[in-house]
Structure formats: structure tokens, C-alpha cells
Homo-oligomer: A and B are copies of this chain.
Amino acid sequence: MYLCAMANYFSSNFTLGILGGGQLGKMLLYDTRKFDIRTHVVDPSAEAPSRLACDYFEQGDLMDFNTVYSFGKQVDILTFEIENVNVDALEKLELEGKKVYPSSETLRNIQDKGRQKSFYKANRIPTSPFIVFENKNKLNEAIVRKELHYPFVWKSCTGGYDGKGVSIIRDAEDIIPLADTACIAEKLIPFKNELAVIVARNVSGEVTTYPVVEMEFHPEANQVEYVICPARIDDTVAAKARDIATRVSEAFKHVGLLAVELFQTEDDEILVNEVAPRPHNSGHYSIEASFTNQFEQHIRAILDLPLGNTDSKVGGIMVNLVGAQGHTGNVHYENIDKILAMEGVTPHIYGKKQTRPFRKMGHVTIVHKDLNEARRIAEQVKKTIKVISK
């Protein structure tokens, strides 16, 4: 018996397939290019940001079984940058011996929020109390029977992202606009901080976590303004958050990156909110701030290479660039030259030609040896740059 030698991924015919060609795929390709790893990408849009820098690009529907299956057949390892892909096709590919990371099973457990919450409960991972409902009628019945009390958080089991499919329900009036879908009702728990931990786990089971990041919200608008690394929290709370995130990854036997979103409650409990099995907005700071950025780490994990150092070189803050209200059309990044003159500022422009209100068009990273100084500059960045049409 011989140990199998590592596959030759570098400047070889080995091919990595990526489902989805948005900004996460685009940033993943910086690192496949750095390592000269061959890639195929499929995305519904011919204008997808990842159409460049891959070796082969295909236009196709990610929810279509045949598209995903035949795309997967042509590659050596298959990964994804978006959760909304056809899982049946992934499962069939796995049964036929194809390596799919993260696995179809992980994805099934995550795609459905009811199933995801039940998974946490079964694995004794702390999460807020919840009830799963098959449809809107069942939800209403539970309220009538006083099994469910206002206020609570309503989440659609499938299809939600970027805050869509989530509502805070305070009275019967709030129920009316909800979609009639399978859903969960979660206890509304007051929290001090919204945190996130990115975990990487490779095929061999090596696990590492990035430092805890903190989402700082706008004091009035209920919107994340800054992702801050490291979070300005106690070391003991940070250690607890990293520990819980690791347990989530281990429970899923996850391979690749897993972004674990967490609540820090008023009494410093850590509760898992939800996870994303891919590179994540909360890890974008790592391109400039970390020894190993999240995209390179994802590649290391799914190719079963040793994981890189997740420590930060400097403090990092990320600000999303979203389309300004009242602007739809050809994008113009007003005052981008002014933010480029600020210390430690790097804009990332995703490459969408058309802006519309609140569309995610890019992000800006601000790094500094002094995190408070980075926070000050981040505020200047946010006041200065505007994503408008012209």
C-alpha cells in the first residue's frame, strides 16, 4: 500500500469547477490565478464578474439539474460561491465519485432554514428557540393557540438572502404581507453585538478559525455599516465564539469555508444565527488584513492543502458599496479618487455596469495598525464615496 501523492493542481490539467460567477467567484479567481489552477465557471449572466480570469465560462441556470450535472462532469473538484444551486445534481455527481466541496448534504442542511435550526438543536449548538411551520396557516394557528407569542422573528425556510425573507413580527398586522411558505418563528432575543466567525476545514479535517468580526450597525437605519476585525469584545467572549463556530463546522463535517453568524446576547451568551458555506462578505477584509485571505483559504481547504495562518497583519474594516437611492443606470463611483487618497483604503469594484438603489456594487477595505484610526477613516470613506448613475 502506498500513500497517494498530492494531486498536481498547479499549472496542470486539473480543473476546479465553480458554480456561480458573482463577486465572490471573481475574488476566488484572484487566487486560482495566483496558484495557476485551471477553472471552469457557470453563471446565468453573460456579464457575470467571473466571466474573465477563468479558463472556461459557461452561461447556465444554476437551479437546473442538467446544467449543474453536465458542468460538474467536466471538472475534477466542484465548489460553489452561492447556495442556490441544484443540490440533486450535486448529490448525483457525488454518488458517481465526483468530489463536491462543500458536500450536497451540508448544503441541504443549510439551504432550508428550518432544517438548519433543527440541525443545531440536534447537535446541541446554542441557537435561539424556534418553531418550524409548514405554511402560513400553521403559523396563524399557533398564534391562535398561544403556542407562539409576539414579538418574534419570521424567516422563510428557503430563498432568503441579504435580509430578504426575514421580518420582525410585532402584531397580527405584520403577518399579512408575509409569503405563504414554510417558515420558522424565532424568539426575538435582544443582543449586544452581531458577530461572525469564518471557519475553514480541509478535506483531511484540519480546522482553523479567523478572528471574530463585529458588524457595526447604523444608529438609526437598521443596516450594517462596518465589518470590523477584530471585534471590540472581551477575549473570553471571542474565544467562546470561535469555539462555537468550530463546533458548527465539525458538526457539519464541513469542507471549505463556513461563515458563522452569531449573536452576543446581553448576558454574553453566544447564539448561532445562521451560516453560509462559502466565502462571505464578513471576510472580505481578509484580502488586505490577513496573512491568508478567505478565498485562498477556501481553495486550500477544498484541495486538501494545509490551511494558512488566519491572523491579521493589521486592523481591518470593511464598508459595502451599495447603489445610492434615486440612482438607476450606468454606474459612476463619485469621489473614488478622494477615498484613494486616504491612508490604507482599497476599493473593490465588482464590475456591475448598472447601479440601482441598494444594489451591492463593491466594497472598500480600510486597514491600519491602529483599529480606531481605521474606524475613523472608514467613516470618512462612507461620507465621501457615492455610487450614482450619470
**CB nearest neighbor in B for A304:** B337
A73 close to B (CB within 8 Å): no
Binds B, one of A47-55, A87-95, A143-151, A174-182: A47-55
Q: Are A309 and B33 in contact (CB under 8 A)?
A: no
Chain B residues with Cβ under 8 A from A350's Cβ? Answer: 36
Q: Are B55 and A10 in contact (CB under 8 A)?
A: no
Are A34 and B349 CB-contacts (below 8 A) given A11-B331, A52-B54, A344-B291? yes
Are A344 and B309 CB-contacts (below 8 A) given A11-B353, A26-B33? yes
Q: Are A367 and B313 in contact (CB under 8 A)?
A: yes
Q: Are B341 and A306 in contact (CB under 8 A)?
A: yes
Identical copies of this chain, number: 2
Q: Are B306 and A340 in contact (CB under 8 A)?
A: yes
Chain B residues with Cβ under 8 A from A291's Cβ? Answer: 343-344, 367
Chain B residues with Cβ under 8 A from A367's Cβ? Answer: 291, 313
Within 8 A of B (CB), among A350-371: 350-353, 367, 369
> CA of A352 to CA of B11 in the docked complex: distance in angstroms?
7
> CA of A139 to CA of B377 in the docked complex: distance in angstroms?
60
Q: Are A337 and B10 in contact (CB under 8 A)?
A: no
> CA of A54 to CA of B52 in the docked complex: distance in angstroms?
7
A252 close to B (CB within 8 Å): no
Q: Are A305 and B337 in contact (CB under 8 A)?
A: yes
Chain B residues with Cβ under 8 A from A52's Cβ? Answer: 33, 52-55
A217 close to B (CB within 8 Å): no
A347 close to B (CB within 8 Å): yes
Q: Are A351 and B53 in contact (CB under 8 A)?
A: no
**CB nearest neighbor in B for A341:** B306
Within 8 A of B (CB), among A296-338: 296, 300, 305-306, 308-309, 313-314, 330-333, 336-337
Q: Are B11 and A340 in contact (CB under 8 A)?
A: no
Chain B residues with Cβ under 8 A from A33's Cβ? Answer: 26, 29-30, 52-53, 351
A8 close to B (CB within 8 Å): yes
Quick one: which of B53, B313, B330, B337 contacts A314, CB cutoff 8 A? B313
Chain A residues near B (Cβ < 8 Å)? 6, 8, 10-12, 26, 29-30, 33-36, 49, 52-55, 291, 296, 300, 305-306, 308-309, 313-314, 330-333, 336-337, 340-341, 343-344, 346-353, 367, 369, 390
What are 7 A-B interface contacts by the 8 Å CB criterion?
A6-B337, A8-B333, A33-B52, A36-B349, A36-B351, A306-B337, A313-B367
7 new A-B contacts, CB < 8 A, other than A30-B34, A306-B337, are: A36-B49, A53-B53, A291-B343, A300-B340, A305-B337, A309-B343, A313-B313
